Amino acid sequence: MKYRTIGTDPTTRREVSVLALGAMLFGSVTDEKTSFALLDRYVEAGGTFIDTSDNYAFWVDGSQGGQSEQLLGRWRRSRGITDQVVIATKLGARPLAPGTGYVDNPEGLSAKVIRESAERSRDQLGVERLDLLYAHIEDHSVPLQETVEGLAALVAEGTVGLLGVSNHAVWRVERARASAAAAGLPGYEVLQYAHSHLRPRTDVPDELFPDGSLGHAGAELLSYLRAEPGLTLVAYSPLLKGAYTRPDRLPADFDHPGTPVRLEALREVARETGATVNQVVLAWQIGGDLPIVPLVGASSVAQLEESLAAVDLELTAEQRARLDGVH
């Protein structure tokens, strides 16, 4: 395994594995035995960065979520896991009532919710401090300053380490970070967005993002990452939920003329290296010039092994330039 540092403050920064493991469906779709086997193998391979959220996976059974955090808590206790593994969680998108969702009835990012949700996550995970806490989705009903101050208060108390943000417009991320800096408060240091080698259309509206997706790491966010060397991007859905091996799973917003060309470039490099296309995608992210940590999901140990092997795949400068340059 290889490692990189997230965060800049010596008191909160952490060294994490360059490959993160997503626990979104652990304890719900993925049963406990399989979830434990995946977590055990990941840690055995040197993995130290696990991702969850307080609302995972509410959509499976119409609940408010929490199954993933609860399973991770049981796994930690049964394995004696302490601070050698960094567990990141999120708040803001938990449904306020069973049978509702994060679009119509989210918990939001008020100071009250931040405090109560963080405490619940700590209880479910069985930790005294959340290593990394993300603001999951935007909340336009609460002043940004309230969210900034509410998160910073938990850092000051020592119940939260690093702060992160996902699925926010870049201008709101910058405004929140500038507000925190002006007040001498800790701000967002880790950004979590969908990112892969194939590029989606970002102008396709949906229920959560009527102006087009804010969940993808587009050109503006990558430019922001390049300009702010203290930030790290955690890239979720890097393998597009299996679409690289199952084209029928490719989301509709990837159906455009640029996709076949980029896919062929990946396949060329895969043939040259003897690796799978999935491994090339992960290696391209891990070894690039931007600080990107791919966040992979897995429903079987075999899937996880494929992703773990990508850590040691070294692309040549020419191969990387080819993947970067294809349009």
d(CA 144, CA 325): 38
- Contact between 99 and 149 under an 8 Å Cβ cutoff? The reply is no
Helix (H, G, I), strand (E, B) or coil at 324: helix
For residues 243 and 254, the answer to whether their CB atoms sit within 8 Å is yes
Considering the candidates 3, 42, 56, 102, report the single residue annotated as catalytic. Answer: 56
Q: What does 144-160 look like in DSSP terms, one character per residue?
A: HHHHHHHHHHHHHHTSE
State how far the Cα of 90 lies from the Cα of 109, in Å rounded to an integer.
11
CA gyration radius for the chain? 19
> Taking a C-beta distance cutoff of 8 angstroms, is the pair 132, 122 a contact?
no
Q: Rounded CA gap, 314 and 114, in Å? A: 41
HSE-CB at 230 with a 13 A cutoff on CA atoms is 13
User: Tokens at residue 271, please?
Assistant: 């043939």
Distance, in Å, from the CA atom of 185 to the CA atom of 150, rounded to the nearest integer, reads 10
C-alpha distances (whole Å) from 111 to each of 19, 101, 118, 159, 226 are 32, 21, 11, 15, 31
Contact partners, residue 208, CB within 8 Å, separation at least 6? 102, 103, 137, 167, 215
Residue pair 128/159 in contact (Cβ under 8 Å)? The answer is yes
Tokens describing residue 175: 């405004």
Answer yes or no: 3 catalytic: no
Backbone angles phi, psi at 121, to 5 degrees: -65, -40
Q: Which residues are catalytic?
A: 56
